[in-house]
Homo-oligomer: A and B are copies of this chain.
Amino acid sequence: MFFASDNSGPVHPEVLQVLAEANQGYQMGYGVDDLMDEVRDRIRTLFDAPDAAVYLVVNGTSANALALATLADPWQTVFCTPVSHIHRDECNAPEFYSGAKLTLVEGDDKMNTKALRAAIEAEGNRGVHGPQRGPVSITQVTECGTIYRLDEIRALGDMAQSYGLPLHLDGARFANALVALGCSPAEMTWKSGVDVVSFGGTKNGLMGVEAVVLFDPAKAQEFELRRKRGGHLMSKHRYLSAQMAAYLRDDLWLSSARMANDNCTRLADGLRAAGATFIYEPQANMIFARLPRHLHRRLIYAGAVYHMEGEELDGPDENALLSCRLVCDWSMQQAEIDRFLALVSNTASAAG
């Protein structure tokens, strides 16, 4: 009953298989391996973007920080949400790489155009004194487990473009959003105004690989140099390429994301049936729920693992509703979900 994170599960066996196959003989390092050619071709085809520049790095923080550094000047500010990973969970990496600062656009899980316009208008109007307007960055799936509809991305893209600002998409859970929306990668990105995407793999069955896709290749060389300067160019690059190749072959990335989302739906349905309330409506592979304290205790004592942000397991009110995050990945066993749900149901009232 492990729901702590989708980067805690195992690597998909097919990935290990391709890694083993790649482990033959010699290959030139630093990104010129044969498998990288396959990966580049596959991603360009998938995104219907034959000119896109494609690079691999080992995690999401470096993907985001390098992407934003390539889009932002050091005297600019990046527009993002207060819950965004680049603001909360990257220990100043985006600022370190770009030199820019972050401006928080008011809102909850998703950025909306009204708040974005207000934030943009409030910046860049004091001549050289204030930070200048820089890229807009959104996250799909959001950190709250919700998903931007295509028209929402399009509206944000249009607004960014109307100010001459590029749009970055942090796609750590890109696949989970894509299968939920049932759209194409092109529709969710450049056709909706996205200029650069961090295309995640690590949370969806890889060992540690994310692709950065720049639809306009004009800054490709700059990205390469920034990647090297940041220490993010891998010498034995074939092992990154192999993971991403395995991910894209036979649509493993999509089937894994579907499994994760299905697991999440099973869990959410069970919780809902037991009377639990959700802070955000689950749309992908994450649930933010409120459960009574006594139930949390029961679950955790029974071996469930998940995050309760800032909440106390022991407290005066047994029925107090405490919020938690439950994340499902592709590897989760339905039996484990059902065991969790059985514990929930056996308690008198899940919602207290």
Contact = CB atoms under 8 A, between A and B. Distances in A.
Interface string A204-248: 000110000000000000101111111111111001000000000
A125 B227 CA distance: 18
Q: How many copies does the complex hold?
A: 4
A10 B24 contact: yes
A224 B305 CA distance: 25
Contact of A8 (B4, B5, B27, B131): B27
Nearest to A23: B10
A43 B26 CA distance: 29
9 contacts: A8-B27, A74-B92, A88-B129, A89-B126, A91-B129, A91-B130, A93-B228, A230-B230, A231-B232
Contacts of A316: none
A275 interface: no
A71 interface: no
Main secondary structure of the interface of A (DSSP, over half): loop
A99 interface: yes
A318 B7 CA distance: 58
Given A23-B11, A27-B8, A101-B101, A91 B236 contact: no
Given A57-B231, A89-B126, 18 more contacts: A7-B29, A11-B236, A13-B23, A30-B127, A59-B231, A59-B234, A73-B222, A90-B129, A90-B229, A91-B130, A92-B101, A92-B229, A93-B230, A95-B95, A128-B228, A128-B233, A129-B228, A231-B232
Residue in A77, A92, A228, A231 with the greatest tally of chain B CB atoms within 10 Å? A231
Interface in A261-283: none
B93 A229 contact: yes
A121 to B, nearest CB: 9
A300 interface: no
A310 interface: yes
User: Can you list the 7 inter-chain pairs with the closest CB atoms, starting with the nearest?
Assistant: A62-B231, A2-B26, A7-B235, A61-B231, A75-B225, A91-B228, A128-B228
A10 B28 contact: no
Interface string A51-77: 000000111111001100000011101
A19 interface: yes
Contacts of A104: 104
